[in-house]
């Protein structure tokens, strides 16, 4: 679809779906929308993300896809990453891992580290393409050196396990620490686990506390096993907060990412 066709599609959808709003958009969210309409690529991607899943507007994945496409057609790397995610998970379109990989590849080529990371995930797992651990390692290494915290965690995992690279647990620990300091909850958990294995229990507990607010169910379960081995007396407050998070997560439907 041409750029003019995309704009026509977008505003046709807006006019057809227009209805009285229950509340005005917060000023900062409306500012994103207005800048998106004015042609700013960053805000086009941000507005698309709002349309995917937000408390402020009704979810409209198809319209989000249009905004990502407009920015991607202008050569904006983060927009290609979001198109990749749409095709990866079937948001507003048919799920298509091959197309997802193509958009992630374009995002990576344009310097987007999230695109590089997401392409690495598909490559590592053999989704939409043959599995290629060497290529995945190259992607995670580049993104890690460019400051991407989740890629740092995966580079550390490759080094820890010796996947397609000489095993180097000391280097893995360094990258787990960098990932944790960069705010990745998986990096926090993995760094905490390594610290606990080295007998540095109080340091480990501090990083598990950092991991807890954002951790997904797999990390929560891993934390529960680790803290159970230590004994809940090691940090009763952390152990109690972990149980609350696990119960809350299991009781609620999983939100759209």
In tens digits, the chain (257 residues) has pLDDT values of 444 455 445 544 444 444 434 578 999 999 999 999 999 999 999 999 999 999 999 999 999 999 999 999 999 999 999 999 999 999 999 999 999 999 999 999 999 999 999 999 999 999 999 999 999 999 999 999 999 999 999 999 999 999 999 999 999 999 999 999 999 999 999 999 999 999 999 999 999 999 999 999 999 999 999 999 999 899 999 999 999 999 988 766 554 43
Task: Decide if 55 contacts 46 (C-beta within 8 A).
Answer: no
Q: Where are the alpha helices (DSSP H) in the chain?
A: 3-17, 27-37, 41-52, 61-73, 77-89, 97-109, 113-125, 133-145, 149-161, 169-181, 185-197, 201-211, 217-230, 236-251
Q: What is the rounded CA–CA span in Å between residue 66 and residue 247? A: 37
| pTM reported for the whole predicted model | 0.87
Which domains, and CATH codes, for the chain? 31-131 (1.25.40.10)
CA distances 158 to 10, 89, 134, 166, Å, are 43, 26, 10, 9
Q: What is the rounded CA–CA span in Å between residue 201 and residue 188? A: 14
Cα-to-chain-centroid distance, residue 155: 16
């Amino acid at each position: 679809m041409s750029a003019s066709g995309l704009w026509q599609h977008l505003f046709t959808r807006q006019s057809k779906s227009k209805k009285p709003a229950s509340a005005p958009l917060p000023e900062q969210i409306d500012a994103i929308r207005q800048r998106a309409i004015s042609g700013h690529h960053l805000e086009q991607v941000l507005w698309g993300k709002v349309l995917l899943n937000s408390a402020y507007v009704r979810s409209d994945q198809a319209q989000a896809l249009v905004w990502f496409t407009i920015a991607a057609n202008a050569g904006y790397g983060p927009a290609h990453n979001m198109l990749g995610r749409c095709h990866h998970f079937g948001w507003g379109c048919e799920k298509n891992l091959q197309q997802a990989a193509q958009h992630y590849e374009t995002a990576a080529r344009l310097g987007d580290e999230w695109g590089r990371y997401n392409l690495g995930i598909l490559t590592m797992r053999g989704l939409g393409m043959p599995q290629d651990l060497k290529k995945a390692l190259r992607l995670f290494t580049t993104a890690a050196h460019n400051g991407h915290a989740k890629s740092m965690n995966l580079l550390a995992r490759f080094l820890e396990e010796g996947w397609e690279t000489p095993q180097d647990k000391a280097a893995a620990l360094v990258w787990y620490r960098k990932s944790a300091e960069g705010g990745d909850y998986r990096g926090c958990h993995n760094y905490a686990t390594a610290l606990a294995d080295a007998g540095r229990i109080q340091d480990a507990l501090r990083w598990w506390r950092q991991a807890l607010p954002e951790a997904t169910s797999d990390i929560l379960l891993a934390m529960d096993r680790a803290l159970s081995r230590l004994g809940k007396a090691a940090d009763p407050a952390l152990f109690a907060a972990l149980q609350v998070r696990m119960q809350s997560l299991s009781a609620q439907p999983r939100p759209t990412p």
